[in-house]
């Protein structure tokens, strides 16, 4: 499964959830879903997913599970800043911690999607 990070219009996830609910109510099989994170603006996305956090995510994706201290050393960054970034990425469920306290990316793939679509008017 993959994590998909994207810009969404208000209400898009609600529409998707309603469609899935209709399928379930009709007794239809529902495919396993990817994990989606939606932001309402590019500014909000990149205030949460800073270049340092994206680099941390990339290093973990490539290296596998690391202790926060080893991750900070690999990144050449201060432990406290790396720990803050770990907490932020865990809050978005982009990384997890195992029983040994090591952090890892639980997704096979992480996609960031930027789509700029016109807002449809009700005219």
- Domains in the chain, start-ordered, CATH in brackets? 2-113 (1.10.10.10)
**Cα(38)–Cα(43) distance, rounded to whole angstroms?**
12
pLDDT 10s digits, 10-21: 666 667 667 767
Across residues 30-56, what is the average pLDDT?
87
Angstrom distances, CA of residue 13 to CA of 9, 32, 44, 85: 8, 16, 17, 26
Q: Which residue has the tokens 């449809």?
A: 120
pTM for the model stands at 0.78
**Cα(52)–Cα(116) distance, rounded to whole angstroms?**
24
**Cα(71)–Cα(90) distance, rounded to whole angstroms?**
15
pLDDT of residue 113: 87
pLDDT of residue 122: 52
Query: Could you write out the DSSP letters of every residue in 63-106?
Result: H--B-HHHHHHHHT--HHHHHHHHHHHHHTTSSEE-TTS-EE--
More confident residue, 29 or 119: 29
């Amino acid at each position: 499964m993959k994590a998909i990070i994207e810009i969404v219009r208000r209400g898009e996830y609600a529409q998707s959830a309603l469609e899935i609910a209709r399928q379930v109510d009709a007794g239809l099989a529902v495919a396993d879903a990817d994990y989606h994170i939606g932001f309402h603006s590019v500014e909000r996305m990149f205030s949460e997913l800073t270049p340092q956090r994206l680099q941390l995510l990339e290093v973990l994706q490539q290296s596998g599970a690391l202790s926060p201290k080893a991750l900070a050393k690999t990144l050449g960054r201060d432990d406290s800043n790396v720990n803050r970034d770990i907490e932020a990425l865990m809050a978005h469920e982009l990384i997890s911690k195992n029983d040994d306290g090591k952090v890892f990316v639980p997704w096979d793939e992480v996609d960031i999607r930027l789509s700029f679509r016109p807002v449809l008017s009700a005219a």
